[in-house]
Amino acid sequence: YTGTSRVPIVQAYDRATGRVRWATDVSAGRGWAFSADVVGAAVSGDTVYATVMRNLNRLGGERTGVLVALARADGRELWRYE
């Protein structure tokens, strides 16, 4: 499980083939005005927990943390704490 910068996408890979199994944009539909970065991902049972640093201004001088729980099987969002 990895994450991206600028547009915060969490990705799951197939260990055997290296192909992306699913990818979830954790900012989709949130109305975030500025970029964000996935800074970490951890797995427990059937859940992937992603930590995201969200920029609150254009230059990134103000940031806030977001914790998102995703279903391990398909990447759908289970809950978030913002």
Q: What is the pLDDT of residue 16?
A: 96
What is the full DSSP assignment across the chain? -EE-SSS-EEEEE-TTT--EEEEEETTTTS---S-EEEEEEEEETTEEEEEEEEESSTTSSSEEEEEEEEETTT--EEEEE-
Task: Give the model confidence (pLDDT) of 5-15 as tens digits.
Answer: 889 999 999 99
- Tell me: the pLDDT tens digits for 21-48? 999 999 998 989 999 999 999 999 999 9
